[in-house]
Amino acid sequence: MKRRSVLITGGAGFVGSHLVERLLKRGDTRVTVLDKLVYPGRLDTIPRSLRRSPDFRFVRGDAGNKKLLGKLLKEVDSVAHLAAETHVDRSIISIDTFVRNDFVASAHLFEALVGSRVKRIIHLSTSEVYGSAQKVPMDETHPLAPQSPYAATKAGADRLAYSFSETYKLPALILRLFNMYGPRQHPEKLIPFFTTNALLDLPLYVYGPGTAERDWLWVGDGAALIESALFIEDFAPLIGQEINGGTGKSFSINWIAERILARLGKPKSLLKTHKDRPGHVARLIARSTKAARLLGWKPARRFEQGLDETIDWYKDNEGFWKTRREDKRFKEYTRAWYGKKL
Ligand SMILES: NC(=O)c1ccc[n+]([C@@H]2O[C@H](COP(=O)([O-])OP(=O)(O)OC[C@H]3O[C@@H](n4cnc5c(N)ncnc54)[C@H](O)[C@@H]3O)[C@@H](O)[C@H]2O)c1
C-alpha cells in the first residue's frame, strides 16, 4: 500500500477536523494541518486522540504564506484547501479579513502550488457562490450570484482555482458543498447557536419569516466526498471540474428551530423573530448527480437523523461550546448582531 501525505489548510476548523479524523482512520495517510488559528479556529477542535497520532502534524501559519509553503509542499502529494473565514454575518460586519483569508490567501497558495510536486488539489468551495436558487435543484451550471461578502470572496477563490487549472494546468478540483452541520461546529453557526441557546434557555433568533431553506449535509458525508476525490484512482478527468455535494432536500430555519426545541423539551416561546439578514439567500438545494457519477459519492445520513444526533452531541459536550461562548469575540458578535451579549 502506497502511503499518502496530505496537507489540509484550515484543518483546525469544523470541516477540517472531520477530514483529519477520516484520513487518519485510513491508516495509510500522513496528515499535515496548516492553520492560522484565526477566530474561530482552535487547535482543540481536533480531538486530542487524533493530534497524538504519529501520522498527524500541526503547523501554525497562513495558507498563503509562500515561504512556509515552499517547505511544506515538498513533503506532501495532495492538498485539501479548506482555510477560510466562514461566518456570513461577520463578513457583513467587516469584509477585510475575508478578502485576505478567503481570497488573497487562496491566490498565494495556488501560486505556490504551480510547479510543485503536488498531484491533487481539492479546493473547498461552497453553495453560497450560487446565491438563491434560480432553478431547483441547483446543478454546477447554475449562475454564480453570491449575495454576501463571504460568498463573493469564496466565489473569487473558486474561480481562481479554475483559472489556475486552465492557465497553469494546476491539478485542482473544485468541490461546492452545501450547508454542513454536525459535532464540533462553532456555536456561532446556526444549528449549534440555536441548540446551545435552547440549552441555556436563551431566545432562538429566527431571521425574518424563517422560511429560508438550505440543503443540510452531514459533515461526515462532506468529509467522505473530499476523501473520495483525494483517493480516486484516476484524478485527471476531475481537473478543473466543479462538483456539488448536497442531499437534494431542503429544510427551513423554522423547521430546524422547532425540531431543536422539541428534542430538548423546551417551550416554543423561546422562538424570537429577528430582522432578516441583509442579502439573505432564500433557498439552496443541490443536484449532486455529478458527484455520484464521477466520484461514486452519495450522502449517507438523512437530515432528521443527523440533526437529532447533533443536538444530542451538544447536550453531552458542554465543555466544547461553553468555552467558545465565553470568548469575548463571541460576546462582541452577539452584541453587534443581536443587540445583547449572549
Ligand atoms: N461549514 C459549511 O457549511 C461549509 C459548506 C461549504 C463549504 N465550506 C467551506 O469549508 C471550509 C471549512 O469550513 P468550516 O465550516 O470548517 O469553517 P471554520 O471557520 O470552522 O474553519 C476554518 C478554519 O480555517 C482557518 N483559517 C482561516 N483563514 C486562514 C488562513 N488564511 N490560513 C490558514 N488558516 C486559516 C481558521 O483558523 C479555521 O480553523 C471553508 O473553506 C468553507 O468555505 C463550509
pTM: 0.98
pLDDT digits (tens, 9 = 90+) for 198-208: 999 999 999 99
Block residue for cell numbers 457519477: 293
State which amino acid sits at residue 120: R
Query: What nine digits make up the cell of 151?
Result: 460568498
The alpha carbon of 83 and the centre of ligand 1 are apart by a number of angstroms equal to 5
| Ligand 1 mean position, distance from CA 64 (Å) | 14
**Owner of C-alpha cell 498531484:** 119
DSSP 311: H
* Ligand 1, CB cutoff 6 Å, lining residues: 9-10, 12-16, 35-38, 40-41, 62-63, 82-86, 101, 105, 124, 126, 154, 177, 179-180, 186
pLDDT per position as a tens digit, 55-102: 999 999 999 999 999 999 999 999 999 999 999 999 999 999 999 999
Instruction: For residue 176, report the distance from its CA to the centre of ligand 1, in Å.
Output: 13
Q: What is the pLDDT of residues 134-187, one digit of tens each?
A: 999 999 999 999 999 999 999 999 999 999 999 999 999 999 999 999 999 999
List pLDDT tens digits, range 65-76.
999 999 999 999
Q: Which tens digit of pLDDT belongs to each residue from 221-258?
A: 999 999 999 999 999 999 999 999 999 999 999 999 99
In CATH, 4-185+217-248+284-301 is 3.40.50.300: no
Q: How far is the CA of 271 from the centre of ligand 1 (A)?
A: 29
How sure is the predictor about 1, in pLDDT bands with cuts at 50, 70 and 90?
low
